[in-house]
Amino acid sequence: MSLWTPPADDAPARLADLRVNYQAGTLEPADLPGHPLGAFAAWFDEAAASGMPEPNAMVLATADAGGQPSARTVLLKQADARGFVFYTNLESRKGSELRANPRASCVFPWIALQRQVCIVGRAELIDRAEVADYFASRPRGSRLGAWASRQSTVLDDRSSLEQRYRDLEARYPDDAVPVPEFWGGWLIVPETVEFWQGRVSRLHDRLRFRRVVASAALDDPSGWTLERLSP
Q: Strands of 20-158 (E only): list them.
A: 57-63, 69-75, 78-79, 84-89, 103-110, 115-125
Nearest-CA neighbor of 48 among 114, 118, 124, 113?
Answer: 113
Measured over the CA atoms of residue 77, residue 123, residue 31 and residue 201, the dihedral's sign is negative
The CB density around residue 168, as the number of other CB atoms within 10 Å, is 16
* Residue pair 53/87 in contact by the 8 Å Cβ criterion: no
Active site residue 202: yes
* Residue type at position 43: W
Residues 6+ apart with CB under 8 A from 92: 151, 152
Say which of 128, 166, 202, 228 is annotated catalytic: 202
Active-site residues, by number, are 202
